[in-house]
Amino acid sequence: MVSLSNHAREVAWKALKAPEATLGELFAADPGRVDTLSARFELAAEGLGGGVLFDWSKTHLTENLLAGFEALAEAAGFAEQRRKLFAGEVVNGSENRAAEHTALRGVGKEASVEEAAALRERMRLLVGAIHEGALGEVNHLIHIGIGGSALGPALAVDALARDLARVDVHVVSNIDGVALEEAFAACDPATTLVAVASKTFTTIETMTNAASALRWLEENGVDDPYGRVIALTAYPEKAVEWGVDETRVLPFAESVGGRYSLWSSIGFPVALAIGWEDFEAMLAGAAAMDAHFRDTDGRANLCLRAAFADLLYARLKGAETRAVFAYDERLRLLPSYLQQLEMESNGKSVTVDGEPAGPTAPITWGGVGTDAQHAVFQLLHQGTHLVPVEFVASVAPGDALDPAHHRILLQNCFAQGAALMTGRDSDKPACVYPGNRPSATILLDDLDAATFGALIAFHEHRTFANAVLMGINPFDQFGVELGKEIAKSIDKGGGSFDASTEALLEAAGLG
């Protein structure tokens, strides 16, 4: 039986119609289209520097569609779900949990904000002690985690630390020993710390890698390997039981999901690399986006407007993928980060009521410009697939070389969006560019800590908004469990599997 809320949502969905006009026709009909569908998000008012331009004018959004999506948001109870998110109420119904990542940034339920501040102070003191030499000389950190415990820190360190890192950070997530050996080769064990990041402190990949890191320290003359370990977990008692001194355990709240945990003690390697002042600036930038998302309604809400465009293509136009291209080497890991955020959150097939859902999350993929132009843009321009594209770039360069480098980079970024939209005719069929291919552009004034924080929070809230409009739960991830269970049964032996799996086990000597 379909619930009343689902019925209202479906009625609103059926009222939405994708426009038949091309992008060129939409621009010709509305000289003010750029002003209508682009907006700046200012951080200067928060004392955090510049801002971000969000331009969705090269999408097929129209006034009618915006109004229709606003009606959908009302039918879906978006305002109430958003209130619950920030109030720390249950928004993950299948697991009866809140999702309190915004509290880590100071925006949310008062008690949760206060708890997060206390835990953050504990981390600040430890980071300060390490920087001041209380743990001896520390030049390297091997950060061991997987999923959200690795993707967020890896992205943030790569984006913000680079040559300015106070401590050289190596993030290891893969159980493949090659990854860990590469980190060992780059580090001096005498001046290396190991951070073990696991919400439950039971994740098999993480704990196996952690045990190997301890052996590496011991085999290379470190007298007290456990004394070189920092534990980042929501279950501190398990870390202490494993052998970590309680003074080296940095907890975070159980109500914080893994892919939203960068802002918690999982961000320890980021703070260690960039320093506490910049880590707090990152949190402040995210908090500024939190406030915008919480306090702004309808199409003026940048995160909600982005979700409108996402759903226009995924639901109304049948696009099965969404491509993200960072025209900034410092954001080369952004597509990988967004893959987990978007596909683990919204890769669902049922609504919160257990009813079959329509098309949900598209496949997120992407790369780095200008490399991607010489690899995948052929398909984007002339292929048969509809692929909404998102460009991310910074006005300020991240290098000190000849300004020509950055000028050419930005010129290419903007040219690709223009070419996707306008296309080109030719008397040679192979040289025709159909055009009318959508893109959005996120243009940062600069890639500093605060702007980075705002960018990531924008995507978090955009993902949540998509989920509410589709009526699905973005905070559970049961889809990752079955494969883990089968792997454990293989390890224990005695199980029976399909003929193909049995043959592979035999071929690998695991049968």
Q: What pLDDT digit, counting tens, does each position of 78-97 carry?
A: 999 999 999 999 999 999 99
Q: Which of 45-49, 148-152, 303-307, 328-332 has the lowest mean pLDDT?
A: 45-49
Per-residue pLDDT reduced to its tens digit, 125-157: 999 999 999 999 999 999 999 999 999 999 999
**CB within 8 A of 248, min separation 6: which ones?**
126, 227, 229, 230, 231
Supply the DSSP symbol for 313: I
**CB within 8 A of 448, min separation 6: which ones?**
49, 50, 160, 278, 281
| Active-site option among 374, 481, 485, 492 | 374
Rounded to an integer, the average pLDDT of 236-245 is 96
Helices within 167-267 (DSSP H only): 177-186, 204-219, 236-242
pLDDT at 163 over 90: no
Rounded to an integer, the average pLDDT of 249-272 is 96
Domain boundaries defined on the chain: 26-87+296-474, 102-279, 481-511
pLDDT of residue 492: 85
**CB within 8 A of 65, min separation 6: which ones?**
16, 17, 18, 19, 308, 312
pLDDT of residue 10: 87
| Active-site option among 484, 488, 502, 506 | 484
Per-residue pLDDT reduced to its tens digit, 180-227: 999 999 999 999 999 999 999 999 999 999 999 999 999 999 999 999
324: β partners: 366, 390
| Residues 474 and 81: beta-carbon distance below 8 Å | no
SS3 155: helix
pLDDT at 486 over 50: yes
**CB within 8 A of 323, min separation 6: which ones?**
365, 366, 376, 380, 387, 388, 389, 390
pLDDT at 45 over 80: no
Averaged pLDDT score across all residues of the chain: 95
Could you give the angle at which helices 148-160 and 449-470 cross, rounded to 10 degrees?
A: 140
Per-residue pLDDT reduced to its tens digit, 16-26: 999 999 999 99
CATH topology of domain 26-87+296-474: Rossmann fold (3.40.50)
SS3 324: strand
pLDDT at 496 over 90: no
Tell me, rounded to whole angstroms, the distance of Cα 159 from its chain centroid: 13
User: Can you read off the two tokens belonging to residue 188?
Assistant: 């001096």
Dihedrals φ, ψ of 311, to 5°? -75, -30
- Catalytic residue list contains 374: yes
- DSSP per residue, 166-187: SSEEEEE--SSHHHHHHHHHHS
Rounded to an integer, the average pLDDT of 162-170 is 88
- pLDDT band, residue 2 (cuts 50/70/90): very low
pLDDT of residue 381: 98
- Catalytic residue list contains 484: yes
Rounded to an integer, the average pLDDT of 396-402 is 96
CATH topology of domain 102-279: Rossmann fold (3.40.50)
SS3 357: coil
pLDDT of residue 4: 52
**CATH topology agreement for domains 26-87+296-474 and 102-279:** yes
| Residues 201 and 239: beta-carbon distance below 8 Å | yes
pLDDT at 376 over 70: yes
